[in-house]
Amino acid sequence: MVRVTCVELHDSFDLVSWGKLVIHLDNEGSELCLLNEMPASPWIAYRADYDPAIALEAVRIHEDFLEKLRNLGISVVASRPVMENNVLYNEAFHINQTYTPIHTKHYFPDEEGFYEARWFKRRKGDFKAFDIGDLRAGVMLCTDLWFSEYARAYGRQGVHVIFVPRATGTASLESWIVGLRHAAIVSGAYVVSSNRSGKTMWNDFAGHGCVIDPDGEVLGATSRDKPFITIDIDLGHAELAKKFYPRYVTE
């Protein structure tokens, strides 16, 4: 068993919210926490026009945030903006004492409030599983979820859990729940997702972080009143699930 926490963090994430999360993680004995997509700064891709000054400030805020994550003393999975040669990427990472990049987001929306295709690029690479102790995991960053062939590929790599950090709106929440459950079923893995929350002038983020088991059952979900939940992940259940339909079906 691994105790995993998922969250919904407000777009204006502040020190008070951070303090509440730290208390929750300690009280619940959490071993791993999934944060939502680029959690440390306000959402930057609401603007149709890329602004390098705004991008660099978001990069700086997230770099400073890494020290807080190291001090937690547990594993954290999240994403952050990184700048290389004046190109902006959304990089998924795992951090405990050591920072480990996983992969950059591959697929981007381009619509009102979510102009990510105009802000971010992707590096070459693929969706490779990684290990956190005995836990084998993969990450699908928000829109990556809709390319479900990668969820199935993660299942073939033997992952116990797929982490899905999100920044998604209320209007599409039901579709996202369907997509998250689908990813769990086709991979035979738990799906743990955390989402941004809160209404701004440009976005209405849905919250609703959740944990879904390999059969697609929702084990728990966050809410405005309960923004953090901690649930045990049964590694053996995820391993056994790979032997059953539809996961055993060959390509």
Quick check: is 246 in a domain?
no
**What is the C-alpha to C-alpha distance for residues 165 and 183, in angstroms, rounded to an integer?**
14
| Domain hosting residue 35, numbered range | 2-241
Length in residues, the chain? 251
Asked if the structure places residue 115 within a domain, the reply is yes
How many Å apart are CA 167 and CA 145, to the nearest integer? Answer: 12
Helices (H) and strands (E) in the chain — how many of each? 5, 13
Q: Is residue 217 part of a domain?
A: yes
**Closest among 228, 45, 2 to 141, alpha carbons compared:** 45
Quick check: is 25 in a domain?
yes
Strand pairing report for 161-166 and 130-132: unpaired
Query: Does residue 70 lie in a domain region?
Result: yes
* CA gap 230, 233 in Å, rounded: 10
* 249: in domain: no
Chain Cα centroid distance, residue 45 = 17
Residue 64 CB neighbours (<10 A): 10
Report yes or no on 168 lying in a domain.
yes
Supply the pTM of this predicted model: 0.97
CATH number, residue 140: 3.60.110.10
Nearest to 80 by CA among 125, 139, 124, 17: 139
In a domain, 247, yes or no: no
Q: What is the pLDDT along the chain (251 residues), one digit of tens a residue?
A: 999 999 999 998 888 899 999 999 999 999 999 999 999 999 999 999 999 999 999 999 999 999 999 999 999 999 999 999 999 999 999 999 899 999 999 999 999 999 999 999 998 878 999 999 999 999 999 999 999 999 999 999 999 999 999 999 999 999 999 999 999 999 999 999 999 999 998 999 999 999 999 999 999 999 999 999 999 999 999 999 999 999 999 88
Q: Rounded to whole angstroms, how far apart are CA atoms 180 and 164?
A: 8
What CA–CA distance (Å, rounded) separates 78 from 85? Answer: 23
Is residue 75 within 8 A of residue 132, CB to CB? The reply is yes
Total of domains in the chain? 1
